[in-house]
Every structure is written in C-alpha cells, then in structure tokens.
Chain A
Amino acid sequence: MTDWIDIGTLADIPQRGARTVQIGGEKEIAVFRTGDDQVFALVNECPHKKGPLSQGIVHGHSVACPLHNWNIALQTGEAQGADEGCTPTIAVKEEGGRIWIARPVAMQAAA
C-alpha cells in the first residue's frame, strides 16, 4: 500500500525544468517535468558528487547534473553513457489534474 502525497499541479513545474519538495526530514526530492509533459521524481542528488539534479538542464527524458554534466535518466535514475551510478527514483502519478508522489517510506524501500 503506497501513500501518495499531493504536491501540486503540472503548471507548478516549469516545462523542461524541475522543482524540489521536502517531505518531513527526508532527503530533498526533485520533481521533473519534461518537454512532453511527463513527470518524474528522483532524490535530488547526483550519484556522482551529490549535485542537485533539480538544477540541471532537462532534455528528452534525462537531466544533466549541474555540477559535472553527468546525464541521469529520469525514469530509472541511472547515469547514462560511460558514467556509472544510480539515483533512487520516487513513484509519481498524475490524477485529478494533480501530481502525487509516493511518500518517502516507499522511497526508502526503493533506495
């Protein structure tokens, strides 16, 4: 059973951009909106040096980390290309015109 948290609407997140959300004392979560209006959520840390992925350039379904330009796949959290590492993903759903993310308990299990 997943608990879902309503974090706002699609319009709250810039297209090809991201917003952050903090749930309790958990790690900050980055919620991304791609050019085709899909929404993904990752822990806001690059697997490389913990750069805030929410501040990277979102292209296709990837984000380029703002610190060292690692490309992270939004769907899996996996580093792309020659780089290796993975950022935990958080389940997201759109329902009733709102964006919901799985609460961090589920996030810890996923991590």
Chain B
Amino acid sequence: MEFQIETQAAMAPVAGGDDQMLVPMDDVREHLVVVGNGMAGCRAVEELLARDGARYRVTIFGAEPYVNYNRIMLSPVLAGEKTFDDIVINDRAWYDDNDIALIAGDPVTAIDRATKSVTAQSGRTVHYDKLLIATGSDPFIIPVPGKDLPGVISFRDMKDVDTMVAAAGKGGNAVVIGGGLLGLEAAHGLTLRGMKVTVIHLMDTLMERQLDEAAGWLLKSALEGRGQTILTGANTAEIYGEDKVEGVRLKDGREIPASLVVMAVGIRPATALAREAGLEVNRGIKVDDHMVTSDADVLAVGECVEHDGNVYGLVAPLWDMCRSLADGLTDQHTGYKGSVTSTKLKVAGLDVFSAGDFSGGEGCEDIVLRDASRGVYKRVVVKDDKVIGAVLYGDTADGGWYFDLLKRGENVAEMRDLLIFGQAFAQGGGALDPKSAVAALSDDAEICGCNGVSKGQVVACIEQGACSLDAVRTGCKASASCGSCTGLVENLLAVVLGDDVQSGPKTMCKCTSFGHDDVRREIVAQDMRSIPEVMQKLHWSTPDGCSSCRPALNYYLLCALPGVYVDDQQSRFVNERMHANIQKDGTYSVVPRMWGGLTNPRELRAIADVVEKYDAPMVKVTGGQRLDIFGIKKEDLPAVWADLNAAGMVSGHAYGKSLRTVKTCVGSEWCRFGTQDSTGLGVKTERMTWGSWMPHKFKIAVSGCPRNCAEATIKDFGIVCVDSGYELHVGGNGGIHVRVTDLLCKVPTEQEALDYCAAFTQLYREEARYLERTAPWIERVGVEYVKQRIVEDEAGREALRARFLFSQQFMQDDPWAQRAAGANSDLHQHLDPISIAAE
C-alpha cells in the first residue's frame, strides 16, 4: 500500500530553496511542514484547517508507507476484528481535497533550523516556515541479550501487526514481555489467532499504571481463564535462539519456549530528531502552552512532547494539545493547560476503567464496592468531597460519569453514600438515603443473589426475631455466602428494627464485615489462593488491608494450602519477617534451637564465638531452656545464622506465632524419680513440630514424673510421664492469665503421645482464630469438643495427624539457612546511594 504523493499542477521550484517539492509560483502561503503522519500530526492539521484553511500550505512526512490511521485500533486488527481499511482516519481523498502534500514512507532524518529545512531519508529536502514535530513515541526495547534476534518485535505499527499475523499462522508459542495495555492486547490478539501465549510482567500487578492491585488481580484471573499464562514479578534475563528466537529465559532460570517474542514494555517519546536539532528536550520535547518548542518556528505535539513536566501516552490529551496548537497557529492563543486523563478500555473483552489519581494519600477516602459473583470491582477516591480518582473493573458503565464529576470538581457530599452505586442510583429519584432506597424495593426484589433470598424473606426473618446480621445469615442465608449484600441486609435491619439492631459478631478488623471464622471457612470453601483474592471475594473495604488482617490472612492461607501458598513477607510481623526478635533499640535477639533443651560443647562454642564476633552485649538463658543472644544488628543476622548453622543449629523460632520450644526435665535416664525418657520424648516431639506456623505461639513441655519439673501443666501441650504411660494436657498458659491445662487423656505408648500431639496441634492450627492462644480457644470451644475431636474420633484424629505431618514437609526448611544463603538479602541491607550531588 504505497501513497507516495507526487506533483500537482503548475509547479515550479520554490524560490531560493533546494526543495524537490514543486509549488505554484504564486503560492505565497506560509509553508507548514509536519513531521509525523500519525494521530497527532494529522489531528493538528485537521484542527488548523477547521480554523483557517487558506493560511498555510501543508506538507506531511510519514515514516510508514500509509495514510493516516488510528494507531490505537491496531489491536482489533491484530485480533482479526477489523481490517486496515477500517482503521484509516483520513484517506487519500482527504489529503487531495485539502491540498496537503503527503510524503509517506520517507522518514525525516534531520532538521536544519538555520536554513529552516528538513531532510528525509531519501535525501529530499524541504524548506519550512513553521515546522510541527509529531513523531510520537518509540517502543522501549529492554537491553537484554537476544533482543535483535529475528522474531523479536515490538507492537507499535502496521508492520508489527503484519509480522504477528504471519507468525500466528504457523501456530506455536508466543511470549509477550510487558503486562501493560499494549502487551495484553498483543497477547489477546495472538491468543485469538491460535498461539499459546505467555505474558511476562516485571511488576506484581498487571497494568499497574491504570489499575490497583485488586483490579489487576481480577484481570489476571480472567486472562488466565482465557488460556494465557501470566507471570507477574518476572524479570527477563535473555532472549535465546540460534538464528532466530527460540525462547525467553527469566532471571530465576525459567525458560519459556517461543517462536515469537513481542516486547511491549513501554514507549518513550521519540525525541532524537529534536535533540539532534538542538531543541530543548527533557523527557519529551519541551513545549509551552501553545505547543511551541524552544525555537519559535518549531512546534511539537502529541506523545513526543513534555508540557509542564508531563508526558502523555494517551489519546485524549493529544486532542487538547492539537486544539491549543491550532489556536496558536491562527493567532487566537488559548493555551493548553495540561490534561486529566482517563483510560477506558476493553482488554480481551474485559471492561476496565481508570481515571485521575487513585493512589490515595493524605485526606483521601476510598469507597470500594466488590461484587465477587459478578467479577465487579469499583473504587472511587474522594478528597475534600470531590471525586479525584476512580478504578472500575467488570462494570465500567459509570466511568464517564465519575470522570465527569472529577473534571468538573463537583461536590459530592450530598450523594456520597450512593456514589459507588453509580449515576442511576445516586441521582435517580432523589433517594439520597440508602435506607429509603432499600425500603423502596418491592418484597420480591432479590437481596442475596448467591442464595436467592428476596427482600420479603429477609424482612420476615427479621420480624421472626433475627436482630443481627449474623442471625439473618443463619436464619435465611442472606449475606451468608459472598457477603456482597451485607450492606443491604444491614439497611433492612435498620429499616425494620430501628435502634434495636444488635451488632454482629466481632469482625476481623475494620477492613471487613466478616469475622475470623467466616473468612477461614470461605477461604477453604472457595479455594482462595492469595490475599488479594480473599480481599476481592470477601469485599474488603480497604485496598490492601491493615496490620491486623494481613498477617491473619497470610496465616490462614498458609495453613489451608501447605506447599502451595507463597508466604507474603510483607504481611508478616517484623519478627517473623526477620526471623529474630526485635528489641526496643531496633537490634535483634537470636535464639538457636536446642532440641529438647539439650546442647553440647560444639553448639556452646559456636554461640560463644558469635557473642564475641558480633559484640553481643548480653546472653541469657530463656524460660524455654534456650540461650538468647541480644543486640544483633539486622545487617549481621545472616552472618550470625551462617555461623550457627555451621555448628548444626537451626532457627529456634523464638520470634514466631509457631512452635517455640519443647521444654524437658532429665527423665528416667538420670533422675531417680523419672518414669519415662522425657528428654528423649521431648527431642522427638520437637523434631516433629518445629517450624510449624500457628495462630499464636505454642509451647510444649515433657515432664518425666508427676513432680512436673518441666512445668508441663501450663503449656499449650504438656506431657506428664507416669509409670503406666503418658498423661496429655492441653490449653495451659503461664502468661497474664495463668491457666492450668485440661487433661485430654492418657495414652500407653510414646508413639501415641506423639500422634495425639500432632493431631491436637493441627486442630488448633485449623480452628483457632489468629492470635488466639490455646487457652482462650479451648475456653471458647470447650474441652469436651477437643476431646471429641482428638480422643473419641479416631479416624478424625488420624486425618488431623496426617494433615499436620503433610504440612510439616514444607515447614521444616530452616529459614536461617535460606537467609544465610542469600534469600531476601534486601531485608538485611541498606539501600546504597549511588550518587550524592555536590555541595
């Protein structure tokens, strides 16, 4: 498709110029030369023509051999939904009708501002009176080995689309590097054309510039459902292949075979031409409010410019710029004031919208609506009673309305309660009170979609005595599943009962209306796999939780998905993240494990050496029969652990909501009263249970006789040896509220003592609430319940024991050794400032 434009009638060489272009001798119009035949360049000309069609003679240079087309519609062309002809904005006739000379397929290579001329690749030189640079953006190519291999392309122009369509014709695997809009559209198009596509994205959230984490997670899940493999947090190391691309290797060593690699990691303003011409260029070509560069006769517009410190990569600002530019060129200066941008798009048929500032911050309030069953997420950010940002996923119908409110800076205080429900609700019928909106619903209106409960049924349930949210959930199932109708049910309670509503069970934290037990039940029932997934499906009201719910969710997922769930370090309290106990001065104390409280010269020497080498100011024997080394700096922790590991010692987990210690007395081996080998059993118990994460800390003790020197009856699990076997005690506590254990049962053999210990520990792990010790847990559920589960239900006990031992396969990996080997080294090192500006 060639559109090389040639001569028109009655031409003569331009006076004094070396132009090859021919113009009528009597044409005295100023010559406007536009470098760039894309959306910005042509739109600027359109705007100019609309204001004054006679003032300028226009020549447009285009690097691509095409007429002006809509670049943002390349995705549907790739997807096979449109053809090139469908996306042409201005066809040949437009250029002809408006007397515009188009020089397509001949990129401008130099600007000479002294002679006011531009030279193209072919050698053609054209004089200008006014020059407009609209070079747009260049795709950013990440500098990895193999980037120049055949089969590695970007996604920017028609040629790239042709390459992708040809590659897809052969089938096979494609890798798209970059999970932004462009990358996802490339991935979608290639998937539709039958390729097996893997998206590699450096950040943890897809489209992180447009979407927050929750919406990004929904998008990722949906794309995975469409057969794509999405790797987030994945860093490309190399593109490999002999004569052409064969695959991509990640920094973590994973290899993904591919016959086509599309690099869509971002775009950069195309400023090379302007820079070489000596124009002022920062991130983009610097322009004033009238799109004039540092040279009064050179203008610039579109993605290549920087205005007031901002560079735009979206289409809407471009229209604003072109208007200001045309106003300036026709001496009606209005001035561009920058643009507020919104993005509304469909990625793989999924609706996504974002606008304004949704990053939160001082004085910002988030209004969040999550409708898990419909896959809808809406977040509106309000500051000083004005909408300042919005993120919508799944249902973007109100995007335009929010954007309008945002741009107009409208005060939304009056409709704040209904804002999130959208325009129809917030402005319809003047029902500004959510209660009256619920009251106005008919009796057969559905309140709970999950369980099919109508308003009439909920009201009947309340009238029959359900005075709380929990009672309604139990009574008629409304709000008992996904919880998205919780607000509606609460409003119905208020409407029916007035002030007699009882508050429900204590919620997990202020971020959710669910209690701990509800959250755990739903994690298992809905097979949830990550913290963002839980927050989405259970309608968290905050973007990323708080310091109460995040550690709890992390534990619940870890417990539900042993070996599968990836621990979130940022949802761990400091001690568990650093695998040491923080002290008031910010240093740490380190407690190596001593199995059953036993030690030996080698371990003691290693501890002594660490104390001296790292200048630890204090060493103390703990209540749990261990040695605690104080005053270690976070930077020194990995080295300390390496030294202790070398002597055979592993983490003592004195810092964790986990098995702490198994305390023992000397038992039958030495003690004249000892009835069984309590130290040996203690060591076995500790070998079985160490490393296990729990709802709270968990302490075990084994005493060799009823004199109970190991104080087993104030431990979470205590074993007291007697002549005829082993008494098992549970739920003791020596803390603020001292609680003596309940006797669980007595077993005849050591193996049974171990089996019951494993089963009890797992029951506690699965059923206690986060940060609930065994003592309050047992007081809540009753010791009879625990006896029934552990003692009477033999099959249940065996299943609990098996689940515990299965989980332990993944837990008993010494975290100190991992850190000493370099894992999470960032947590222990300062950032390294690389350059300090001169004084």
B547 and A57 within 8 A (CB): yes
The answer on a CB contact under 8 Å between A66 and B833 is no
- Output the least CB separation between A39 and chain B (Å): 11
Rounded to whole angstroms, the CA-CA distance of A6 and B358 in the bound complex is 26
Contact of B826 (CB < 8 Å), options: A7, A12, A35, A59 = A12
The residues of A that contact B361 with a CB separation of less than 8 Å are 38, 61, 75
Contact A75 B833 (CB under 8 A): no
- Interface flags for A4-24 (1: CB within 8 Å of B; 0: not) read 111110011111110111110
Interface of chain A, main secondary structure: loop
Mark out the residues of chain A between 12 and 44 whose CB falls within 8 Å of any chain B CB in the assembled complex: 12-17, 19-23, 28, 31, 34-38
Is B691 an interface residue when CB atoms closer than 8 A count as contact?
Answer: no
In the complex, A67→B546 CA distance in Å? 16
Complex Cα–Cα for A28 and B208 (A): 30
Q: Which of B725-767 contact A (CB under 8 A)?
A: none
Do A55 and B577 contact each other (CB < 8 Å), given the known contacts A36-B212, A75-B361, A75-B362?
yes
- By beta carbon, the residue of chain A nearest B212 is A36
Complex contact A57–B362 (CB within 8 A): no
CB-based contact B833/A35 at 8 Å: no
A-side contacts of B577, CB under 8 Å: 55
B835 & A5 in contact (Cβ 8 Å cutoff):
yes
On whether the beta carbons of A59 and B550 are closer than 8 Å, the reply is yes
Complex contacts, A52 vs chain B, CB 8 Å:
582, 586
Q: Which residues of B contact A71 (CB under 8 A)?
A: 547
A85 to B551, CA, bound (A): 26
**B504-553 interface with A by 8 A CB criterion:** 542-547, 550-551
The residues in A between 38 and 63 inclusive whose CB is less than 8 angstroms from any CB of B are 38, 49-52, 55-61
Residue in contact with A15 in the complex, picked from B570, B586, B833, CB distance below 8 Å: B570
B584 at the A interface (CB under 8 A): yes
Knowing A35-B212, A59-B546, A60-B544 touch, does A19 contact B834 (C-beta < 8 A)? no
How many Å lie between the Cα of A22 and that of B829 in the bound state?
11
Given the interface contacts A12-B826, A37-B208, A59-B542, does A6 sit within 8 Å of B835 by beta carbon?
A: yes
Q: Could you say which residues of chain B place their CB within 8 Å of the CB of A12?
A: 826, 831
CA distance A21 to B362 in the complex (A): 24
Q: Residue A5 contacts which of B358, B546, B829, B833 (CB distance < 8 angstroms)?
A: B833
Q: Does B571 contact A (CB under 8 A)?
A: yes
Picked from A21, A38, A55, the residue with its CB within 8 Å of the CB of B831 is A21
Greatest chain A CB density within 10 A among B202, B582, B833, B837 is at B833
Which single member of A3, A14, A17, A36 contacts B213 (CB below 8 Å)?
A36
A11-B202, A14-B826, A66-B582 given as contacts; is B570 within 8 A of A57 (CB)? yes
Report if B818 contacts A (CB, 8 A): no
What's the A-B contact tally at a CB cutoff of 8 Å? 121
**List of B residues within 8 angstroms of A103 by Cβ:** 836-837
- The reply to whether A14 and B569 form a contact with Cβ atoms under 8 Å apart is yes
> A11-B202, A16-B570, A67-B582 in contact; A38/B833 too (CB < 8 A)?
no
B831, A17: Cβ atoms closer than 8 Å: no
Name the A residues within 8 Å of B831 (CB-CB): 7-8, 12-13, 19-21, 31
The answer to whether A15 and B204 touch across the interface, beta carbons within 8 angstroms, is yes
**Complex CA distance for A4 and B833, rounded to whole angstroms:** 10
Q: Is A73 an interface residue (CB 8 A)?
A: yes
Does residue B777 face the partner (Cβ distance < 8 Å to A)?
Answer: no
Say whether A60 contacts B360, CB under 8 Å: yes
Q: Give the contacts of B569-583 with A (CB-CB under 8 A).
A: 569-574, 577-578, 582
Does A64 sit at the interface, judged by CB under 8 A? yes
The answer to the question of A108 belonging to the interface, with a C-beta cut-off of 8 Å to chain B, is no
| Distance of A49 from chain B, by nearest CB (Å) | 7
Contact B832 A23 (CB under 8 A): no
Determine the chain A residues whose CB is within 8 A of the CB of B408 once the complex forms.
none
- Nearest residue, chain B, Cβ from A105: B839
Given contact pairs A19-B830, A55-B577, A66-B574, A4 touches B582 in the complex (Cβ within 8 A)? no
**How far is A58 from B577 in the complex, measured between Cα atoms in Å?**
13
Contacts of A34 in B (CB 8 A): 359-360
* Contact across chains for B586 and A50 when beta carbons are under 8 A apart: yes
Complex Cα gap A23–B831 (Å): 10
Q: Is the CB of B830 within 8 A of A20?
A: yes
A69→B573 CA distance, assembly (Å) = 10
Distance of A101 Cα from B356 Cα, bound (Å): 25
Q: In the complex, which residues 584-628 of chain B have their Cβ closer than 8 Å to any Cβ of chain A?
A: 584, 586
B550, A23: Cβ atoms under 8 Å? no
B233 to chain A, nearest CB (A): 9
Q: Mark A66-81, 1 if CB is under 8 A from B, else 0.
A: 1101010101100000
Chain A neighbourhood of B584, CB < 8 A: 49, 51, 67
Contact: A35 with B543, CB < 8 Å? Answer: yes
Interfacial residues of chain B within 178-212, with CB under 8 A of chain A in the complex: 202-204, 208, 212
Within 8 A of A (CB), among B788-839: 826-827, 829-839
- The smallest beta-carbon distance between A94 and chain B, in angstroms, is 12
Give the nearest-CB partner of B838 in chain A: A3
A-B contacts, 23 of them at CB < 8 A, read A3-B838, A4-B837, A5-B837, A15-B204, A20-B830, A21-B831, A21-B832, A34-B359, A35-B543, A35-B544, A36-B360, A51-B582, A52-B582, A52-B586, A55-B577, A55-B634, A57-B550, A57-B571, A57-B572, A61-B361, A61-B362, A64-B547, A75-B362
Which 10 A-B pairs have CB atoms at the shortest separation, nearest pair first?
A64-B547, A66-B574, A3-B837, A57-B547, A16-B570, A35-B544, A55-B574, A21-B831, A52-B586, A36-B359
Q: Given A16-B570, A51-B586, A66-B573, 11 more contacts at CB 8 Å?
A: A3-B838, A6-B835, A7-B831, A7-B833, A8-B833, A28-B830, A35-B213, A49-B584, A57-B546, A64-B547, A67-B584
* B interface residue numbers (CB < 8 A to A): 202-204, 208, 212-213, 358-362, 542-547, 550-551, 569-574, 577-578, 582, 584, 586, 634, 826-827, 829-839
